Chain A
Amino acid sequence: MTTKVLICDDSKMARKQMARALPAGWPVDVHFAKDGQEAIDLIKVQSFEVLFLDLTMPVLDGYATLEVIRQEDLPIMVLVVSGDIQPEAQERVKKLGAIDFIKKPVDAEQIKQVLIEYGILRDQAHE
């Protein structure tokens, strides 16, 4: 079954790097958003299972996006992907409902582990 994934980052390069770091062989349908507002608008019209969310963005930043998702009770799992590695930033996003924090530059192996840990990616059946 294909998983619908949304990658939200203001940087085109970061969006590309993130998409490239997704586990090989994971059947996904990847969409992109340039800021939090675009992501919210997309989530409202079609359902996504996973959102990879950057923090520092124009228009609507990652924190504000998490707030909207929580307030409106939008059904999506959020993984924050950010260069802001201050412990306080990680705590804040988890309080706001993000399930985990992935630091930039993204590492494919780490992403795979996180996805397996939260049961989003089943440990490869063909293994």
Chain B
Amino acid sequence: MSDLIQLSEDERDCYQEITNVAMGQAADRLARLLGVYVVLPIPNVNLIEINEFKMTLKSLEGNSTVSAVCQGFIGAGIAGEALLIFNDASFAEIAKLLDYPGNLDQHEELEMLMDVANVLNGACIQGIGEQLDIDFSQSHPVILGQHCSIADLLEPNQSRWQRTMAIEINYTIEDHNINCDLLLLFTEDSVVHMNRLISFLMDD
């Protein structure tokens, strides 16, 4: 295994600023789709250990009040997954804004989850790509826990990585009870690659 990846303060700042611009573009699209104002947070850029990630997954598994979709992206030696975690309490409000009729069953909720994931994941991934001059391919989204058992992911010795970079964005919508978390996870080797790419942006 290679050495654990590191992030300098300047690198973290750079990723934060790149994300800031990308999530602004994503918020603008969501705002236009739903006809609302999206409150933009300061994104969190962190190195996370496999154990922390497993804890996040575990909390999702035991939690019947959230839904999550996961979408892979890849391009120019950089790969990762976007994980959109949705608070189920938000569905009723989203349904009103998206004009979904009446009683919400699981199927309608999936439709809405996909609608929001398409906009947020797509815009964020493409937005980050634009700034790094990469045209990312996106895989089909999967509902978390369906393509893989979360329990399997939690197995010890199953992981191919120890520590990686995670960008976390918490979107809230003004005047509506809507809340979702977008987690962008990059593979370890991608971070090494990206650090090289952003060094050009940080140059004096």
A touches B in complex, CB < 8 A: yes
Interface class of chain A by DSSP = loop
Given contacts A11-B13, A11-B16, contact A83 B42 (CB under 8 A): no
Given contacts A56-B41, A58-B42, A88-B37, contact A13 B24 (CB under 8 A): no
Contact of B201 with A by CB under 8 A: yes
Checking A13, A57, A83, A85 against B202 with a beta-carbon cut-off of 8 angstroms, the contacting residue is A13
Give A58-96 interface residues, CB cut-off 8 Å to B: 58, 82-89
A11 to B12 alpha-carbon distance, docked (Å)? 10
A105 to B17 alpha-carbon distance, docked (Å)? 9
Give B118-138 interface residues, CB cut-off 8 Å to A: 131
Contact of B31 with A by CB under 8 A: yes
Contact of A16 with B by CB under 8 A: yes
A85 to B20 alpha-carbon distance, docked (Å)? 11
Interface size class of B (residues with CB under 8 A): 20 to 34
Contact of A12 with B by CB under 8 A: yes
Instruction: Report whether B24 and A104 are in contact in the complex, using a CB–CB cutoff of 8 Å.
Output: yes
Instruction: Report whether B201 and A56 are in contact in the complex, using a CB–CB cutoff of 8 Å.
Output: no
Interface of B toward A, CB cutoff 8 Å: 10, 13-14, 16-17, 20-25, 27-28, 31, 37-38, 40-42, 131, 201-202, 204
A88 to B28 alpha-carbon distance, docked (Å)? 9
Instruction: Report whether B14 and A85 are in contact in the complex, using a CB–CB cutoff of 8 Å.
Output: no
Closest to A58 in B: B42
Instruction: Report whether B27 and A56 are in contact in the complex, using a CB–CB cutoff of 8 Å.
Output: no
Instruction: Report whether A85 and B28 are in contact in the complex, using a CB–CB cutoff of 8 Å.
Output: yes
Instruction: Report whether A85 and B131 are in contact in the complex, using a CB–CB cutoff of 8 Å.
Output: no
* Distance between A10 CB and nearest chain B CB, rounded to angstroms: 7
Contact of A121 with B by CB under 8 A: no
Instruction: Report whether B204 and A16 are in contact in the complex, using a CB–CB cutoff of 8 Å.
Output: yes
A127 to B168 alpha-carbon distance, docked (Å)? 48
Instruction: Report whether A104 and B202 are in contact in the complex, using a CB–CB cutoff of 8 Å.
Output: no
Residues of A near B13 (CB, < 8 A) are 11-13
Q: List 27 A-B contacts (CB under 8 A).
A: A11-B13, A11-B17, A11-B20, A12-B10, A12-B13, A13-B17, A13-B201, A16-B202, A16-B204, A56-B40, A56-B42, A82-B24, A83-B20, A83-B21, A83-B23, A83-B24, A84-B28, A84-B40, A85-B28, A86-B27, A86-B28, A86-B31, A86-B37, A88-B37, A89-B37, A104-B24, A105-B21
* Distance between A104 CB and nearest chain B CB, rounded to angstroms: 5
A87 to B41 alpha-carbon distance, docked (Å)? 17
